Amino acid sequence: MKTYIAFIFTMCIVSANSRSFNDQEKAKILADKQTCIKSTGVDPGVFKLIDNYEPFAITPELQCFWKCMLESSGVMNPDGTLNLNDPNDTDETRECKKLTADKPCETASKVMECLYHNRLLPIIGSN
């Protein structure tokens, strides 16, 4: 399945919505990104497309990258369920976090696409 969207790297910090991050938080996110790239085998070149808002294919590796990032941020549990009790979530975020699929990586992909389309993702950068 090929779906084309543009999305911002730090999609994994769902509950943050539009808040800014301090240097320590940014460093953790970027370290998690590197770990998730290695563990999923996602092509790091996709992030250049993402950063430039260019269309790209959502591959199984990218879906699992999103799952890895959501897990590392505490938004997703290892079994693929999402933590729905964050008091900082907006109504739109809660609706996105209700989306599910048969596989955890696909659930992560659905959630991230919803968050992107609702403009609920903070910008951190993708160094």
For the chain, list the domains and their CATH numbers.
4-117 (1.10.238.20)
Quote the pLDDT of residue 120.
Answer: 74
**Digit-coded pLDDT (tens) for 59-81:** 999 999 999 999 998 899 988 89
In this structure, the chain runs to a length of 127
- Residue 52 has phi, psi (to 5 degrees) of -95, 10
| Mean pLDDT, rounded, of the chain | 78
Quote the pLDDT of residue 41.
Answer: 97
Is the pTM above the cut of 0.75? yes
Average pLDDT over residues 9-23: 51
Considering only 9-13, 27-31, 69-73, which range has the smallest mean pLDDT? 9-13
For residue 64, what is the enclosing H or E element?
A: helix 60-72
